[in-house]
Every structure is written in C-alpha cells, then in structure tokens.
Amino acid sequence: MIQAGDNKIEINLEWQKSPKGEMFKLYSIMKGSKSKWINKVQKFNWYYVFRYDNGSFFTFHQDFNDKITEKLNHNQTIILCSKI
C-alpha cells in the first residue's frame, strides 16, 4: 500500500475507487535508473502507474526514503512511459 496524502492506495490489480468516485487500478510499477545507499541498503526510487477506467493515467513517484513526493498528471505519465 502507498500513502498519497490522506489516501491509501493498494498495490494490486483490483479496481479501486478514488475519493472523487473514479475507478482506477494499478497498470505498472517502474524502478528508477539510479540508486542510493542508505544505512547499508541500496534504495531505488519507484513510479507507480495507475489507469482510470476511461483509459487515462496518473503516476505517483516514491523517493529513496519511501515517501511519495509527487503525482504526475496524465500528460506527464504518457511522456514518462514513452521514454522507457
């Protein structure tokens, strides 16, 4: 599960309902290309991509300290995915 503000989002392939009533589910998880050693543990940043039932996307970025640092809007998500 990830905590995004006051919202908790399950990391599974089940459909979930947003606070606005929109249905969404996990689409993919991407590992960042850079790593950082923290307390003798190699940490990565992660991108969690979700798809709404209307076909649009949103993404959360999780940093090296396991904190959600930003939500990328639908257009940024498409650009991000096309660079992989």
The residue that leads in pLDDT, 16 or 1, is: 16
Decide the pairing of beta strands 57-62 and 41-52. Answer: antiparallel
Mean pLDDT over all residues of the chain? 85
User: ∠ at Cα 57 (5, 26), nearest 5°?
Assistant: 70
Tokens of 52: 């709404």
Q: For residue 44, how many other CB atoms are within 10 A of its CB?
A: 14
Write down the pTM of the prediction.
Answer: 0.78
The residue that leads in pLDDT, 72 or 35, is: 35
Hey, what amino acid is at 53? D
Look at residues 66, 56, 65 and name the one whose alpha carbon lies nearest to residue 3. 66
**Residue that is written with structure tokens 């995915």 in the block:** 81
The pLDDT score that the predictor gives to residue 25 is: 94
